[in-house]
Amino acid sequence: MTEMNCIIGADGAVLHHLRRINHNNRKRVYFVGKMRKHLCLLKKQIGYHLLVWPALVFTIIFCYIPMGGLVIAFKDYKLRTGIWDSPWNGLDNFKNLFADYYMPQIILNTVAVGVLSIVVSYPIVIGFALLLNEIRSAAFKRIIQTVSYLPHFISWAIMAVILKALFSATDGVISGLLCDLGITSGPLNILTARDSYWGLVVFSSVWKEMGWSAILYLAVIAGIDETLYEAAKIDGAGRFARMRYITMPQLKGIIAITLIMSVSGIPNTGFDQAYYLSNNVNIESAKTLSYYVYTSGLQKGNFAYATAIGMVLSIVSATLMVAANFISRKLTGKGLY
């Protein structure tokens, strides 16, 4: 390149022009070199990439294509005409959402079941973890923990069988017991009553997940520095003071994280329960948004409308996560990200 400059001599314009070519060439050479290095590295790593690509293709097919399928929320979708040929209808599906007669009750049910579950389950789970931690005998502790996980491993289909066996008005054991003890005179309607549905759902969920949810808290408690407790004891702090002022502050972070997840799950609560425990009598209290997506979409065939609801649900869920994270950061200084 330097020879070139010599030959042209003093002609500024040409020189300038050539310099630019020179510069570009150098950039190209650099780029090609980098590219070659890159390809070389890629070739060396190709084995790893070949392991990742199937999962990538899988994710694109099973996660991203359905995301693209959300366009039917903006269309007058019919199964016959298909996604692409169905005509656009703008925001009509979303407008229908506001005009839907059932919507206020469904939203109320969703929020009630979601919020009540959180409000009821957190104190119980944390209380359980704190109390279990105070059990002295390691064997007894282990037995309780193992037993408390058990309901986590059963499906909601099995849960429903158990709940019907326990609470059935005609042949359930609770109803029978209360009758035998003379507390109630007639059969006790829990499964087929509008008022008891929320309670049934909330408490059965707590029963099912209590032990499992406590695992994280127990692990954090086990990791707390023992000397903190010793110091507090010397300062005269009682058992409950130690729980309140040492254990609880240490649990704050993990509670914040699980709470963020729980809050963002509120829009999608109540599906399994409504699927198995709803009946003609309590359906008005049982219908939650996720269940409504299922019934209106797959059972009644309003695909576009159900997709619109589903889309709103995931947007609300993501928003709740961001909001909960923000609030948690402000209050406790801890968050998911």
Partner 1 sequence: MKRKKNLPIGERVFFSVNTLIMICLLVVMLYPFWYCIIVSFSDANDFLKGPLYLWPRKFTLENYDFVLSSNLFGVAIRNSVFRTVLGTVLHCVFTGAAAYGLSRPNLLYRKFYTTVFVITMYFGGGLIPTYLLYRNLGLIDNFLIYIIPSMFSFYNCILFMSFYESIPASLEESARMDGANTLTIFFKIIVPVSKPIFATVALYSIVGQWNAWFDTLTFTKSKSLTTLQSMMAEMLQAAENMEKLIQQLSATGATGANLAVADVSPMTVRVATMVITTFPIVVVYPFFQKYFVKGIMLGSVKG
Q: Does 162 bind partner 1 (CB under 8 A)?
A: yes
Q: Does 188 bind partner 1 (CB under 8 A)?
A: no
Question: How many Cβ atoms sit within 10 Å of the Cβ of residue 303?
Answer: 21
Interface residue with partner 1, options 4, 33, 35, 48 (CB under 8 A): 48
Pick out residues in 220-239 that bind partner 1 (CB under 8 A): 238-239
Q: Pick from 44, 24, 18, 208: which is nearest to 120 by CA?
A: 208
Interface residue with partner 1, options 1, 318, 323, 331 (CB under 8 A): 318
Of the ranges 13-21, 48-56, 108-116, 229-237, which one interacts with partner 1 (CB under 8 A)?
A: 48-56
Considering the complex, what minimum distance in angstroms separates the CB of residue 248 from partner 1?
Answer: 17
CA atoms within 13 A on the CB side of 138: 1
Report the alpha-carbon distance of residue 289 to residue 91 in Å, rounded: 19
CA distances for 153 relative to 150, 209, 210, angstroms: 6, 9, 12
Q: Residues binding partner 1: what is the number (CB under 8 A)?
A: 87
Question: How many Cβ atoms sit within 10 Å of the Cβ of residue 301?
Answer: 11
Phi, psi of 119 (to 5 degrees): -60, -40
Q: Does 4 bind partner 1 (CB under 8 A)?
A: no
CA distances for 198 relative to 38, 247, 265, 315, angstroms: 59, 32, 17, 25
Token look-up 């199937």 returns 54
Q: Does 40 bind partner 1 (CB under 8 A)?
A: no
What x/- string results for residues 76 through 115 when contact with partner 1 is judged by CB under 8 A? -------x--------------------------------
Q: Pick from 153, 108, 194, 160: which is nearest to 275 by CA?
A: 160
Q: Does 216 bind partner 1 (CB under 8 A)?
A: yes
Q: Does 263 bind partner 1 (CB under 8 A)?
A: no
Q: Does 171 bind partner 1 (CB under 8 A)?
A: yes
Q: Does 321 bind partner 1 (CB under 8 A)?
A: yes
Report the alpha-carbon distance of residue 174 to residue 178 in Å, rounded: 6
Q: Does 148 bind partner 1 (CB under 8 A)?
A: yes
Q: Does 243 bind partner 1 (CB under 8 A)?
A: no
Q: Which is nearer to partner 1, 109 or 148 (CB)?
A: 148
- Residue 13 CB-density burial (10 A; 0-12 exposed, 13-18 middle, 19+ buried): exposed
Q: Does 132 bind partner 1 (CB under 8 A)?
A: yes
Q: Does 70 bind partner 1 (CB under 8 A)?
A: yes
Positive or negative, the Cα torsion across 298, 105, 281, 117?
positive
Interface residue with partner 1, options 112, 303, 320, 325 (CB under 8 A): 303
Q: Does 69 bind partner 1 (CB under 8 A)?
A: yes
Of the ranges 2-10, 17-25, 104-112, 207-215, which one interacts with partner 1 (CB under 8 A)?
A: 207-215
Interface residue with partner 1, options 10, 63, 138, 234 (CB under 8 A): 63
Q: Does 150 bind partner 1 (CB under 8 A)?
A: yes
Q: Does 180 bind partner 1 (CB under 8 A)?
A: yes
Q: Does 147 bind partner 1 (CB under 8 A)?
A: yes
CA angle 187, 190, 192 (to 5 degrees): 95
